[in-house]
Amino acid sequence: MWRNITSHYPEFEALVFDENNFYSDQMLELQTTTLQSLGTAILTLIAGLSNFFDRYLS
């Protein structure tokens, strides 16, 4: 109910807190955060391996 009310007023950026269900809001951002972390990890791995190959295999 409260989420429906706050969705009508996005300019206030209101958050609904429910002490029994505080993970539901985090689930909305979980996919984006996971993909960003995965992308950062892959880029770091590529940079590290590139540095390794340049130093030790040349």
Tell me the C-alpha distance between 6 and 1, whole Å: 9
Range of the structural domain that residue 26 is part of:
2-56
- From the number of C-beta atoms within 10 Å of its C-beta (0-12, 13-18, 19+), residue 22 rates as exposed
What pLDDT, in 10s, does the model give residues 11-52? Answer: 998 877 777 666 666 777 788 889 999 999 999 999 999 998
Q: What is the pLDDT of residue 14?
A: 84
Count of structural domains within the chain: 1
Question: pTM for the complete prediction?
Answer: 0.50
